[in-house]
Structure 1
Amino acid sequence: MALIITDSEWACDSNEVIKIRFVDHNNNDEEEGEKNEYQKSVREFSPEFSHQIFSNQQIFGYTNLKVKLRFASSSMTTYFGVTYDEKILDSTTNLVDDVEKTLSELLPDDYITNYDIFLQRVQTDAETFIPMGEKISEYRIDNDNSDKVYEIYKATFKTPRFKEFHKRLRIFVLFYIEAGSYIDEDEDHWEVMLVFEKKNIGGTYTYNLVGFCTMYLFYYLPRTKKNRENNENNYENNGNHHMNEDLNENFSNCEKNKRHLLQITNNQDVSILNNISQFIILPHYQQEGHGGKLYQTIYQYCLLDPRIRQLVDPSELFSEIRDKCDMRYLREMKALEGLVAPVDKKRQMHRCIEIELLQNLNKRDPVAYKAYRLQVKQRVYNWNKELLDQISREERLQKLDETFKGIEEEYQQLILKL
């Protein structure tokens, strides 16, 4: 007789039942330490997103389901465990989610299911793990009187030990970036920035992962200054996520000849669009300023490479970090003094100019405020021209007005944080 499923107790929210902890040698008895509410509140987190893993962010077929994901803070060595009170076993229904199979396919092949063995690895890794790749910079956090230093390293998938390390940390892309996806580790054009916390404990340095950023480098070789400018303008007009046809053709031609591509990437005349693909600060290090420090490092890194023509960010959610960092940099360089609307610049520079103009704008001056309002609306229209041209003029004006009010409010909030 088939089992009739009617009780909602068999369904649960996948975000709520997946629990993530980062374990270091100081709290490696965290399972026994669950009674310590401070420790638990600091070290346990839930995903922000899991709908790409479990449909509608729901797991069906279990009662009191608990999914435990533990990561060694240094090496990201992974423990994976699943417990529940009851599971629907009737073979006549295919509604039951296979939690272990689904998640195991997304985790590294070397994940551990024995917690005692995992704790041993945590201790060993804390004593022996060192970051991989080339050290780019280091920094300290303001108002932090500890001896903690944060170091940033650059790695590629050819860097020794990095490919295995990346397989352990990439699950956070699905958990903390909406519509995030795994990147192709066999692709040559990825660079990854890694942030590590460096602590001196009893004369021994330990490293804990703070966050990471993946960047994809689009290479193209313009033959003339005019072509180079056209390529960049076309790329920007087509959005952040896709190359235009000309760039795509150049890139594909390079892909047909790997040897030629290697020659191009070593050529100082080549142009590069550096596209920030994924940007993650792990949850227990958020709201401490690490995102800004990482972005500043990436920006300085790009400035030092004469081949990089443009730095492209992945989404609007990244805009606040980028806007704050860019505004501080431009003000330090006194690049925004004496501005009057309208000003013709590329999108990111234009946003920074708009923020500076708004902060110094006298809204009681109707002429100045109208000029500012029209400049912002013109940028929004140019950026979304294809979509806006599909609606009536009346609707278009209404959408632009609504968008302007939203942007103005967003800028006002950001100005308060500068």
Structure 2
Amino acid sequence: MTDALCHLVVDGNEVLEFKLVRSVQDIENDDTSFGPEMCHQVFGENENIFGYTDLHIRLYYSAGSLQTYLGIEYTDKIEPSKSEGMKADDVEGALKKVLAPGFVTNLDHFISLVDKDKSFIPHGRLVHAFTVTPDDGSDRRMFEVYFSEISTPGFLTFHERLQTFLLWYVDAASFIDVDDDQWNFFTVFEKYDSCEGGHRYAVAAYATVYRYYAYPRNLRPRISQVLTLPPFRKLGICAHLIKAIYTHFTVLPEVVDITVEDPSADFQRIRDYVDAKNCETLPAFQPAKLYQGFSQEMANQACSKFKINKKQARRIYEILRLKNTNTSDKTTYLNYRLDVKNRLNAPFQKKKLEMKKLQKVLAPEEFAATVTSSGVSETQGRLCALYAALEHEYRRVIHRMEHD
């Protein structure tokens, strides 16, 4: 591309504007706008859009029902006849592929849909309610969590609009198979006072959970997609969402445990916080027991009471033991670090044993060609780095626990 055309290339993330619109005033209020974290799943790997001058893409959603408005504005667009056949990217075409059917491109039409939101009521069954007092001293806010299934009347049409947010905030996101009735949904709404009297609702967050079969007649629910929309972050909403999921499933006798599909670091931290707060109430996780090391009793109690699997129970033990460890006491702190490092080192030890077995059955030259293992010092370095990163994450969880 020539330098003369470079001004026609823009970063898609910079020209996209989102809003969750509660009233007509929100449309003109810049404070209600927010942007995407990524757009490569819509506009391609480099996230660039070519062919427009002063491009601005507006994606506005009514705050409750998520009726959608798409507005694409620009002052000029490249013409193939004047640019050796070069065409502008088909922005509307790319968005049409991912937006739910029924979006509008007329702003007045959208405003009429926003007005209809006053009669919107969340789909599904109310399973949890909570309030949040923001750190900035503003008024207390009310939230409700609703449980829905594939069969919940009206929910799938709503979900079709809701899931589009995944593309902008969750890497490698994919839309779920709505023909599979094993999917469950938990949606968080802010319940706020309307200036016309009564209450209205605004979507804040949601999670999908898949009910996996576990032999012989059991279930192993797996939390799959979790998203808190940007205007509602830093309010502790995700922790409440996890609690709502736990509350729903822990009372079901057929549930073996609750797992999470490929959790991000941020989600794992919130999950750790919720699990640690829960487990520190259990007898097996009291300080005297923690100093004795991880036990089957801990695994059993965590699973029985909160449906936490053994791997996560071990992680929670490490967090709570660190929380109760006097790091000024060199011996106590050393014992803790060795305990965690022994667990982290287990895969390296397993690999070492596998290599020894391989050495016995391969000719020397074949074994030499196969070996890619690093030296002892490099393995130790990796182990130390792994531990340091883990303790840093644990301390973030502990800090939140101590400042609730």
TM tier relative to shorter chain: 0.7 to 0.9
SS in 2 for 1:53: helix
- Which residue pairs with 1:254 in the alignment? none
Q: 1:190, 1:214 within 8 Å by CA — same for their partners in 2?
A: yes
- Which residue pairs with 2:202 in the alignment? 208
What are the Cα deviations for residues 295-342 of structure 1, in whole angstroms up to 9, with x where unaligned? 111112221111121212231331111111112222244552121153
Q: 1:150, 1:197 within 8 Å by CA — same for their partners in 2?
A: yes
Between structure 1 and structure 2, the one with the greater Rg is 2
Say if 2:130 is the partner of 1:130: no
- Which residue pairs with 2:369 in the alignment? none
- Which residue pairs with 1:139 in the alignment? 130
- Which residue pairs with 1:336 in the alignment? 285
**Correspondent of 2:68 among 78, 88, 104:** 78
- Which residue pairs with 1:186 in the alignment? 179
Instruction: Identify, as 1 or 2, the structure richer in helix.
Output: 2
What are the Cα deviations for residues 83-124 of structure 1, in whole angstroms up to 9, with x where unaligned? 112222217556632110001110011001000010001001
**Correspondent of 1:121 among 113, 117, 125:** 113
- Which residue pairs with 1:379 in the alignment? 343
Distance 1:58 1:331, change over 3 A: same
Q: Give TM-score scaled by structure 1 length.
A: 0.79
**Correspondent of 1:63 among 32, 53, 68:** 53
Residue type at the aligned position of 2:256: R
**Correspondent of 2:80 among 90, 93, 98:** 90
Determine the C-alpha separation between the residues in 1 that align with 2:132 and 2:283. Answer: 25
SS in 1 for 2:19: strand
Aligned-residue RMSD, C-alpha:
2.5
SS in 2 for 1:306: coil
Distance 1:89 1:221, change over 3 A: same
Q: Give TM-score scaled by structure 2 length.
A: 0.82
What are the Cα deviations for residues 370-411 of structure 1, in whole angstroms up to 9, with x where unaligned? 332233233334578888986335233321110101111222
**Correspondent of 2:104 among 112, 121, 126:** 112
- Which residue pairs with 1:20 in the alignment? 18
Determine the C-alpha separation between the residues in 2 that align with 1:151 and 1:69. Answer: 25
Determine the C-alpha separation between the residues in 2 that align with 1:119 and 1:174. Answer: 25
**Correspondent of 2:7 among 6, 9, 14:** 9
Q: 1:16, 1:46 within 8 Å by CA — same for their partners in 2?
A: yes
Distance 1:382 1:179, change over 3 A: farther
SS in 1 for 2:38: coil
What is the CA distance between 1:14 and its match in structure 2? 0.9
What are the Cα deviations for residues 122-144 of structure 1, in whole angstroms up to 9, with x where unaligned? 0012x211111122121222478
- Which residue pairs with 2:373 in the alignment? 391
Identity of aligned pairs, percent? 31
Q: How does 1:6-405 map to 2 (within 5 A)?
A: 6-25=4-23, 28-31=24-27, 33=28, 39-41=29-31, 43-55=32-44, 56-90=46-80, 93=85, 96-125=88-117, 127-142=118-133, 148-201=141-194, 202-222=196-216, 270-314=217-261, 315=263, 316-333=265-282, 335-337=284-286, 338=288, 339-340=290-291, 342-344=293-295, 345=299, 346-382=310-346, 391-394=373-376, 395-405=378-388
Structure 2: gaps spanning 5 or more residues: 300-309, 355-371
Residue type at the aligned position of 2:291: V
SS in 1 for 2:105: coil
Is 343-352 or 68-77 further displaced after alignment?
Answer: 343-352
- Which residue pairs with 2:302 in the alignment? none
Q: 2:61, 2:68 within 8 Å by CA — same for their partners in 1?
A: yes
What are the Cα deviations for residues 199-224 of structure 1, in whole angstroms up to 9, with x where unaligned? 343442211111100111111223xx
Q: 2:79, 2:87 within 8 Å by CA — same for their partners in 1?
A: no
Distance 1:5 1:205, change over 3 A: same
Determine the C-alpha separation between the residues in 1 that align with 2:198 and 2:56. Answer: 36
Q: 1:140, 1:148 within 8 Å by CA — same for their partners in 2?
A: yes
Q: 1:341, 1:357 within 8 Å by CA — same for their partners in 2?
A: no
Determine the C-alpha separation between the residues in 1 that align with 2:168 and 2:379. Answer: 36
Structure 1: gaps spanning 5 or more residues: 34-38, 223-269
